[in-house]
Structure 1
Amino acid sequence: MNIPVLYSFRRCPYCIRAHMALDYSNRKVILRTVALRNLPVEVLAVSPHATVPTLVINENESMAESWDIMKWALNQNDPENWLGANNVYQHKAEPLVELNDVSFKQNLDKYKYAERFPEQSMKYYRGRCESFLEALNIMLQENKFLLAERISIADVAIFPFIRQFSMVDKTWFDESPYPVLQHWLKLMLNTLWFGQAFKKHELWQAGDENLYL
């Protein structure tokens, strides 16, 4: 049986969510941690945009989009029903993930690296992020997690980006008017799946012994 290979970078939010979903699914996967500035030829050969995460399923199939990797993993095995009955949580998560991955991530990058975007201030870029934070905070007033009283695919897809946002100016985030969002973030940080995804590993080199999720 072919064992899929995940090429990943520990701090990348896209990689974190893919890693969490694969670990949760209990699918046997080989983990190869790589450096973004020196991607191995194995990634370049199968990733159209030369990015991670990249999941090589077999010699004929690979995935280079973290959301696709998450859905693939949960369709392999979904022990706690993160997808929901008839994939209802996946369908509800789709527009939220699109908003996160496009406009929020663009604003987050400008906030995190404000010195690279001197057209506006760091505070301005943070403000552009806040509409998404406000929307999540409202959702979390209805349920313990984004779509329900338990974790779903939506929480795992969104959480790594909110974590990244919170780390830019932790003092500001801790004092921000989003207490429910802050509590949710703490819950997600304490999950076993995040702990596994954020473990530090040596960079993979060809010939290394396999490391499994």
Structure 2
Amino acid sequence: MTANARPVLYSFRRCPYAMRARLALMIAGAGCDIREIKLSAKPAAMLEASPKGTVPVLVLHEGAVVDQSIDIMRWALARHDPEGWLGRDDPALIAANDGPFKHDLDRYKYPDRHGADPLVHREGGLTFLRELDARIAPEGQLCGSARGLADAAIMPFVRQFAATDPAWFGGLALPHLKAWLEGHLGSALFASIMVRLSPWQEGDTAVPFAIGDGPSGQIQ
């Protein structure tokens, strides 16, 4: 990568880890070139940069690589944080999402892959969702009245859980969580990071992402 080139983000549209990285990059206006990957045909350039083979991967100038989604979020926000997301962080809550909740989510959504009872793990995940509902109730977001890093880091996983069985989720008594999720999914910010792209191939024209200040209007 040349000194004046933009960073390169390897992403997959539906991956919740990639979603949260894109949310932070967009709100920060941390311009990069985005490369949508096909999971069954991961590009050699991505694997060379990050042999772990999972998205997101952000390749910076001079070959430096950030390949953990939370690290990408904090990298972007450390450079420009127009909404003060770093002040609305909760590492312990994010760890609970990425650990026990993600464990239950995977086994609820893909029981055959894990040899698991989906209903057991659905109940396990619901325990976490109830905690989030109570957390959101006083002010509307996870860390106060405005969206922040914790919301952006956790929301894509709640979205995936809710979409696994929408009819069942719709019948749950989680009014604060549902309003929170609907607000994030209906925001201009979320729409801006969910544009459909063709899988990247070597030689393709660069696709700019998050150039300038991203959509920063507050969720209504």
Moved over 6 A (4+): none
Match of 1:79 in 2: 82
Match of 1:115 in 2: 112
Q: Distance in 2 between matches of 1:145 and 1:22?
A: 20
Q: Over the residues paired in the alignment, what is the CA RMSD in angstroms?
A: 1.1
Deviation at 1:59, TM superposition (A): 2.7
SS at match of 1:123: helix
Paired residues of 2:9 and 2:58 also in contact (CA < 8 A): yes
Map residues 138-177 of structure 1 onto 2, 5 A cutoff: 138-177=134-173
* Match status 1:102 vs 2:99: yes
The code of the aligned residue for 1:14 comes to Y
Structure having the higher helix fraction is 1
Q: Distance in 2 between matches of 1:205 and 1:119?
A: 36
Q: Distance in 2 between matches of 1:13 and 1:152?
A: 16
Match of 1:69 in 2: 72
Match of 2:29 in 1: 26
- CA deviation string 1:159-198 (max 9, x = no partner): 0000000000001111112111001000000122211211
Gaps of 5+ in 1: none
| Range with greater deviation from structure 2 (40-49 or 157-166) | 40-49
- 1:186 corresponds, among 172, 182, 186, to 182
The code of the aligned residue for 1:12 comes to C
The code of the aligned residue for 1:140 comes to I
- Percent of aligned positions that are identical: 38
Deviation at 1:119, TM superposition (A): 4.4
Cα 1:118–1:79 shift into 2, 3 Å? same
Paired residues of 1:48 and 1:64 also in contact (CA < 8 A): no
The code of the aligned residue for 2:195 comes to K
Q: Distance in 2 between matches of 1:116 and 1:52?
A: 20
Gaps of 5+ in 2: 210-220
Deviation at 1:118, TM superposition (A): 4.0
- CA deviation string 1:62-82 (max 9, x = no partner): 111000000001011011111
Q: How many residues align?
A: 206
